[in-house]
Amino acid sequence: MNCQGKKLLIAGGGTGGHLFPALAIAEEWEAEGGEVLFVGTPLGLESRIIPQRGKKLALIKVGKIKGGGIKGRIKTIIGLPLALLSAIKIVRNFQPDVVLGVGGYASAPAVAAAKLLFIPTAIHEQNAMPGLSNRVLSHVVRQIFISFAAAKDHFSNPNIQLTGNPVNQTFHHSAIKPPPAKGQPWQILIFGGSMGARVFGEVIPPALAQIKAEGINFQVQHQVQEDSLERVREFYKENNITASTKTFFQDMSKVYAEADIVICRAGATTLTELAALGKPALLIPYPYAADDHQAANAQAFANNGAGWMCRQKEASPEWLAEFLKQRFANPKELQTTAESAKKLATPDAAKSIVKGLLELS
């Protein structure tokens, strides 16, 4: 591949699930000699992360269609023509060879602007259940890249390529961790995404106290929300549980590497990382995710034997304790699940997408 002299505009973001795969694509494009411009919104995660990564970012103002209430939706709809005009100006100034929408609020105006200016367009869908922006844009773009095969059923556009979800390459160079040697503790990793999950701090520590009382040897790394941190730390201390509790893990690849089992949400980026590292995981989808897409992601993983899914309302301390006891009693099952997760890894996802974008350009 050779992107020398080629310009790629990537539009969208808002959350890490949209943004971090987009960054992996951008890094691959730049590694091949091309130039990248991101288009996002002032309120999205991209407004902070993109400049930190030393990449170019243009901003447009566009609000929510979903989850913003009736007044918010009306305001967004009224503001769409202005957002489109802003996007047209950005696209004209940058003159990209191809435009990629990755979902999120800025995606639709930028892709629509490129379409009006006769520039090739594509979208990348990270989840098994496509988001609203990508469902709308799928009718006008020339190419759709998907991370889960299940997403194909939600698009009528025939130009679909299953690429997987791009992730930082540091996650792909790791062998599956064997079970701990006799007498060594199991390592449990618990996290709820970039902001944590309050419910994890409420139901998981009591479950761990139950299995500790039954003599199971384990250690914990637990990402906890700020307002629950001291309470959870004190609980672990009172129950003689060896635990590292933090509000944010800086080096996730290192934290993952130490884990024998993971308890987490089911965002697309999280699942991509689990697959890349071959980590068996109990997936508890965020129940309020748009279109319940995390449940669709988790179900796709579970259907492939790559993890287990439990709805949040069913994840009681008693259920979790029994689940962990069964897993630790059967190390071979954990290894088989890890191997199934590893089979879902797509280390060449970014390269595949960049190749497809080059063909469009």
CATH of the domain at 197: 3.40.50.2000
Same-domain status, 96 and 235: no
User: For residue 217, which of 179, 258, 186, 259 has the smallest C-alpha distance?
Assistant: 186
113 CB-near residues (< 8 Å, 6+ apart): 84, 87, 88, 90, 91
Same-domain status, 186 and 231: yes
pLDDT at 162: 97
Distance between start and end Cα atoms, the chain: 13
* Count of H-run helices and E-run strands, the chain: 13, 13
Dihedral pair phi/psi, residue 24, rounded to 5°:
-65, -40
> Is the pLDDT confidence value at 8 over 90?
yes
> Is the pLDDT confidence value at 81 over 90?
no
pLDDT at 74: 56
Is there a domain that residue 114 lies in? Answer: yes
Same-domain status, 253 and 240: yes
**Which domain, by its residues, includes 217?**
172-343
Task: Name the band, by pLDDT with cuts 50, 70 and 90, for residue 174.
Answer: confident
Same-domain status, 180 and 197: yes
Of residues 7 and 169, more confidence is placed in: 7
Same-domain status, 231 and 279: yes
Query: What is d(CA 7, CA 347) in angstroms, rounded to the nearest whole number?
Result: 24
Same-domain status, 153 and 224: no
Same-domain status, 69 and 130: yes
Is there a domain that residue 1 lies in? Answer: no
**pTM of structure:** 0.88
**How many structural domains is the chain composed of?**
2
Same-domain status, 310 and 249: yes
